[in-house]
Amino acid sequence: MNKKTIDDIDVKGKKVLVRVDFNVPLDADRNITDETRIKAALPTIKTLLDRGAAVILCSHLGRPKGEFNMKYSLEPVAKRLKELGLPITFAKDVIGESAKAAVAAVKPGEAVLLENLRFHKEEEKNDPEFAKTLASFADVFVNDAFGTAHRAHASTEGVTHYLPAVAGYLIGKELDVMGKALENPARPFVAVLGGVKVSDKIGVINNLLEMVDTLIIGGAMSYTFQRAKGGKVGNSVVEEDKIELAKELMQKAKDKGVNLVLPVDNEAAQEFKNDTMRITVHSMDIPEGWEGMDIGPETRKIFAREIAKAKTVVWNGPMGVFEFPNFAEGTRAVARAMAEADAVTIIGGGDSAAAVEQLGFADRISHISTGGGASLEFLEGKVLPGVAALNDK
Ligand code: AMP
């Protein structure tokens, strides 16, 4: 990475504003149900504290629509950080009296967490005044929020106009691992894409077709490709207006010599729910009245075999409706194949990261990105504004 990191600057005695990604899932009682993102931010925070910085943490959580909403308060995160041993206080607002007092009081070796940035609509609008006020709290800015690095918001891009700005360890690690995989992959390089929308992933497919040896497509996305091949898909999710595009992408794969692997069979359901009539369709001609919900047994074997041959695997998007246990087999098969592969294995955040966690394969994957949207944009070859805005080395 050609950006400065916290290892390139002296933070002793300085106030350091750190944008982290504490966008963690909470249950109805505001208990944190997955603290992966909190744990992922700790190396940067601890290093800054150890080096004598006074740390001011800021993050968003959920989509509170620009106003205070207790449901999206970061207070449970502050509580958890305290339990994890951090000397931390919590400010009850973002740029108001509580924040100002907490920032004035914070000493070297201590931290304060500001309230949810998105309680101000100015955050997502990248409002310069809001960014300037945030910046006025500190001497240096550190961005370690990979999950929002693809957004030019006040706390990711705006503040960099007013403070020296460097990357934290998490952003550094995410970019190093994924950058290396894309720039100089050990081959065969296999990409696995799933999920619902072809339209969301056109850019990724296009970019990956330039570099992979094999592209595997599963999930609801594959039905649009199946229609492009003239197949029948019953009631499955299809983007009719993307059928032509699917044809073009298949042609591009052929032109580039990429091995495009599509499903050959399916698990189908009568209704979109877990407990419903199910059939295995041993072809891609799904009968009328049935909906494809997961890849079938033969497809699971084929996908696993392709992954086993790989030296680099990148995966984004589930192979079926994995949230329903009856339709999680396809996603499980890919997760298992990745866990068993003798390869660098990378999961691009979002649903596939949740799936490997849920299915118990997470500790056997080389890298699970903390940012679904950000890693997708990275795989598309796009510049991430939150990274581009940081100071060059
Ligand atoms: P995405 O956000 O595009 O990665 O899509 C993730 C979602 O795709 C998950 O919620 C899955 O339940 C859903 N999904 C995967 N396969 C299917 C399918 N065959 N039919 C409907 N939804 C699917």
Annotated binding-site residues for ATP read 201, 292, 323, 349-352
350 assigned to active site: yes
pLDDT for res 59: 98
pLDDT for res 198: 87
Catalytic residue among 147, 348, 350, 371: 350
Backbone angles phi, psi at 333, to 5 degrees: -60, -40
218 assigned to active site: no
373 assigned to active site: yes
pLDDT for res 349: 78
Cα separation, 316 vs 195, in Å, equals 8
Contact 245, 259 (CB under 8 A): no
77: its two tokens: 């995160």
| Cα atoms found within 13 Å of the Cα of residue 168, Cβ hemisphere only | 29
Q: What is the 3-state secondary structure (H, E, C) of 130-178?
A: HHHHHHCCCCEEEECCHHHCCCCCCCCCHHHHCCCEEECHHHHHHHHHH
Contact 327, 274 (CB under 8 A): yes
Q: What is the pLDDT along the chain (393 residues), one digit of tens a residue?
A: 789 999 999 999 999 999 999 999 999 999 999 899 999 999 999 999 999 999 999 999 999 999 999 999 999 999 999 999 999 999 999 999 999 999 999 999 999 999 999 999 999 999 999 999 999 999 999 999 999 999 999 999 999 999 999 999 999 999 999 999 999 999 999 999 999 988 889 989 999 999 999 999 999 999 999 999 999 999 999 999 999 999 999 999 999 999 999 999 999 999 999 999 999 999 889 999 999 999 999 999 999 999 999 999 999 999 999 999 999 999 999 999 999 999 999 999 788 998 898 889 999 999 999 998 999 999 999 999 999 999 999
Backbone angles phi, psi at 134, to 5 degrees: -60, -45
Question: Which pTM was predicted?
Answer: 0.89
Sign of the torsion angle spanned by Cα atoms 379, 380, 386, 392? positive
Domains in the chain, CATH or no CATH each: 6-170 (3.40.50.1260), 178-379 (3.40.50.1260)
pLDDT for res 350: 82
Cα separation, 164 vs 339, in Å, equals 40
Ligand 1: does its nearest atom lie under 6 Å from the Cβ of 234?
no
Contact 116, 124 (CB under 8 A): no
Backbone angles phi, psi at 15, to 5 degrees: -90, 125
